[in-house]
Amino acid sequence: MLFLLLPAVLYLVFLWLREQDLNAKWQPDRESLLFNRKPLPAPLERTWISSYKLPLRTEGRSIVDTDGRRFKLSSINWYGASDELFVPGGLDVQHRSVIAETIKKMGFNSVRLPYADELVMKNPVIEPGLVLANPDLQGLRAMDILEAVTTALTDAGIAVIINNHITRATWCCGADPCDAGWANDHLGPLCAVKQTEEEWIQHWEEVMGRFVHNPLVIGADLRNEVRGLWGTMPWSKWAAAAENCGNRLLKMKSDWLIIVEGTESANDVSGALDRPVRLDVENRVVYSAHGYKWSGWGSWQGRFAQRSYKSFVKTMRRNWAYLLEVDIAPVWFGELGAPSNPSVGDVHYWSNLMRYLKSIDADLGYWALNPRKPKGNEKETYSLVEDDWVTPVLDYRMKDLQELIRQ
């Protein structure tokens, strides 16, 4: 019996030692330290959407303008309208136009702006203290403030992609089955905030109806991290719903890009090979993938934090990058991120991801801008700005992002 147990014990010891190594604090390398001592480089004019002829469309693996020039999405996520307070973060600290300029100075040419369906359902008046630095927004409702923030971004020349992030306004994304898909009416009384697929689409129409005449609102990211119950969402079911919603939005404005995330928390877009999303308007579909250090849990290869580069790339190619390799459709890596004080595992994931995204010149979306989370004003360790919402964090993440943006 002891002889049989010995291999299992040794394996458990190996796993424990590996976790200790991954969780050890990372010491910044020389390149990151040198980057921190220099001013942030000026953004490149060729990256701004003002340099392109609108509207955008898709052509093979790329998003292009009417002249066929590729427009590379270099995005950052600005959250808050999807959380309990119903308002994008930072409006109590800086005017929205100042935050827009901060984003622009960091070189991001686009913003992914999430909202919750509950925001549309309730559309509450926002507490004055949450918009303290934007006195003209005091007394307004959540939808009006979302529109004002979007307009401030586009006035600054930043493209905006609206994202339906979650049903109930809260931090995303846990194990709650009520928020694991776009509709939850099949769960009966289980869900505090309920919606059908038709209601989900109607919420989209209400939100996007405000931006029909804003050319820099370039698209709709239909739903964040569709997963079903513990990763059981069939791609075919999600693709059909995305077509229903996308076609309704394109009847409002045929120029919008329709972003369709993968299943398995947006990790897996492999279903699009045999069952692509087809819309009534051609050249509108952009797929989207996400990936963090914990992604890949439950697989034989393990989490991304512990993968070899070869294993990591194999998964990326199978899950979504095949669409780029055979020139089928664009893929926007819409969420990636790491903390400012990382572990060895954090940096291992980040280094593999950056190496691969640079090798394929990928479209990206960093999570996130916000230095604080809405609930409890908790520190957001993934932020790229300090608490003043104007000072960029010049560390290993910004170094790599600058390299990818400026390719």
157 found inside a domain:
yes
According to the model, what pLDDT value does residue 21 have? 76
Give residue 9's pLDDT.
59
Could you tell me if residue 2 is inside a domain?
A: no
Residue-number span of the structural domain to which 181 is assigned: 23-405
42 by Cβ neighbours in 10 Å (0-12 / 13-18 / 19+) ranks as exposed
Q: What is the mean pLDDT of each run of 10 residues along the chain (407 residues)?
A: 66 62 91 95 96 98 98 98 98 98 98 98 98 98 98 98 97 87 94 97 99 98 93 94 99 98 96 98 98 86 93 98 98 98 97 98 98 94 98 98 97
User: CB under 8 Å, gap of 24 or more: what pairs does 319-325 form?
Assistant: 319/262, 319/267, 319/268, 319/269, 319/270, 319/289, 320/262, 320/268, 320/269, 320/270, 320/287, 320/289, 321/360, 322/270, 322/273, 323/61, 323/269, 323/272, 323/273, 323/287, 324/61, 324/360, 324/362
**Considering the domain boundaries, does residue 305 fall inside one?**
yes
Q: Considering the domain boundaries, does residue 6 fall inside one?
A: no
14, part of any domain: no
Q: Would you say residue 145 lies in a domain?
A: yes
Give the whole-angstrom CA distance, residue 404 versus residue 74. 9
Residues 6+ apart with CB under 8 A from 82: 114, 115, 116, 119, 163, 165, 166, 169, 172
Q: Residue 3 has what pLDDT?
A: 67
Q: What CATH number is associated with residue 374?
A: 3.20.20.80
147 occurs within a structural domain: yes
Question: What is the spatial distance between Cα 254 and Cα 101, in angstroms, rounded to a whole number?
Answer: 29
Closest by alpha carbon to 142, among 160, 113, 115, 171? Answer: 115
**E runs forming strands in 243-313:** 257-261, 285-290
Residue 380 confidence (pLDDT): 97
Report pLDDT for 300: 77
Q: Is 134 within the bounds of a domain?
A: yes
Rounded Cα distance between 93 and 113, Å, is: 18
Domain total of the chain: 1
